[in-house]
Amino acid sequence: MNSEAVSAIIAKHSALKASKAKLEAMEPGAFCVHRSWGFGRIKDYDDAEQKLVIDFKGKKSHRMDPAFCVGSMEVLSPRHILARWETEPTKVKALIEDDQVQLVIDTLSAYPNQAASAIELEHVLAQIVGAEKFKRWFAGVKKQLVKDPRIGVPLKKTDCYVVRDEPVSAEDEIMEEFANTRSARRRITLAEDLLAASVKEEAKPSLTQVLHGLTEAVRDSNQLDAAERLYGAFVRDELARILGHAPASLAPHQSDLIREARGLSAIAEKIPVHFQSRFLDLVKETHPLEWREIVFALLKTSQGKFTTECINFLLEHGQADELAAALKRWKTEQNLRAPVLLWVIKNRHSKKFAKLLQDLITPRLLGAIFFAIDYEALQSAGTRRIPLGEALSDDADLISDLLATADTETARDLANSLLLNQGFEELTKKSLLARFIKLFPPLQALVSGEAEAKDEQFIVTRESYERKRTEYEEIVSRRIPDNSKAIAAAREHGDLRENSEFKMAKQDQSVLMSQKAQLERDLARARISDFSDATTEQISVGTVVDLRDVANGKAVRYSVLGAWDSDPENHIIAYKTPLGQVLLGKKVGEHVKLKIGGANHEYQVAGISRYVDTKK
SS3 state at 143: helix
- How far apart are alpha carbons 556 and 553 in whole angstroms? 10
- Tell me, which fold does domain 81-168 have in CATH? Arc Repressor Mutant, subunit A (1.10.10)
* pLDDT value, residue 261: 83
**Regions of the chain short of the pLDDT cut 70:** 170, 198-204, 378-384, 446-456, 491-500, 503, 595-598, 616
CATH code: domain 543-614 is 3.10.50.30
Domain boundaries, the chain: 3-75, 81-168, 456-528, 543-614
Interval 453-479: pLDDT, tens: 555 678 998 999 999 889 988 888 888
* pLDDT value, residue 235: 95
The CATH architecture to which 3-75 belongs is Roll (2.30)
Q: Which residue pairs, CB below 8 angstroms and at least 24 apart, start in 194-199? A: 194/239, 195/235, 195/238, 195/239, 195/242, 197/147, 197/170, 197/171, 199/171, 199/242
Read off φ and ψ for residue 187, nearest 5 degrees.
-65, -40
- Compute the Cα dihedral for 470, 472, 475, 481 and give only its sign: negative
Domain spanning 456-528, CATH class: mainly alpha
* pLDDT value, residue 419: 83
Query: How far apart, in Å, are the Cα atoms of 403 and each of 82, 183, 351, 395, 440?
Result: 60, 54, 21, 14, 10
* pLDDT value, residue 277: 96
DSSP string, 241-298: HHTT--GGGSSS-HHHHT--GGGHHHHHHHS-GGGHHHHHHHHHHH-TTTHHHHHHHH
* pLDDT value, residue 615: 75
